[in-house]
């Protein structure tokens, strides 16, 4: 009998990794659901906000996630609109990768990656401008 024949293949390892990551994601979301990042001091602070005094694309993500988990869509948009707008695509990508699907070709193209990067840079610049209508992009 071949000892290699009984070993699980790469698909089994990928499913195992997806399940473990899913458990960690669930545990993290449970903590964010139970403990409001806006009222506690033990969540990490954004280094770009502390040291450079500007909002990065991720600033407000924990607070937005907490509000989304509690069904407060307007509150989540006020904290980080990029996260809220990207969430359907992120969830679809996680679902597609966990089921072994590749997803649509436009999501895998280098142009999509560059487009996302350009959008995040633009979002970062705009949310740090001190004028209307851009001030609503800053977490508040």
Residue 122 is predicted with a pLDDT of 95
How would you label 63-101 residue by residue, b for 16+ Cβ within 10 Å and e otherwise? Answer: bbbbbbeeeeeeebbbbbbbbbebeeeeeebeeeeeeee
pTM, two decimals, is: 0.80
Asked if residue 4 is part of any domain, the answer here is: no
Asked if residue 62 is part of any domain, the answer here is: yes
Asked if residue 2 is part of any domain, the answer here is: no
Residue 3 is predicted with a pLDDT of 58
Asked if residue 3 is part of any domain, the answer here is: no
Residue 77 is predicted with a pLDDT of 94
For residue 5, give Cα distances in angstroms to 17, 35, 73, 127. Answer: 21, 47, 50, 55
Domain carrying residue 116: 10-137
Task: Give how many domains the chain has, as a whole number.
Answer: 1
Residue 6 is predicted with a pLDDT of 63
Residue 79 is predicted with a pLDDT of 93
Residue 138 is predicted with a pLDDT of 85
Asked if residue 56 is part of any domain, the answer here is: yes
Asked if residue 20 is part of any domain, the answer here is: yes
For residue 38, give Cα distances in angstroms to 12, 48, 131. Answer: 40, 18, 24
Residues in Cβ contact with 15 at an 8 Å cutoff, skipping those fewer than 6 apart: 98
In the chain, which residues have pLDDT < 50? none
């Amino acid at each position: 009998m071949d000892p290699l024949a009984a070993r699980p293949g790469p698909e089994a390892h990928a499913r195992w990794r997806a399940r473990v990551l899913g458990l960690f994601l669930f545990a993290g979301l449970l903590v964010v659901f139970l403990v409001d990042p806006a009222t506690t001091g033990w969540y990490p602070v954004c280094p770009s906000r502390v040291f450079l005094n500007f909002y990065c694309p991720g600033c407000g993500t924990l607070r937005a996630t907490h509000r989304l988990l509690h069904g407060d869509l307007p509150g989540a948009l006020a904290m980080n609109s990029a996260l809220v707008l990207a969430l359907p695509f992120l969830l679809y990508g996680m679902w597609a990768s966990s089921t072994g699907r590749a997803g649509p070709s436009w999501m895998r193209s280098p142009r999509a990656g560059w487009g996302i990067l350009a959008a995040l840079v633009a979002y970062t610049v705009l949310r740090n401008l001190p004028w209307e209508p851009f001030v609503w992009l800053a977490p508040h």
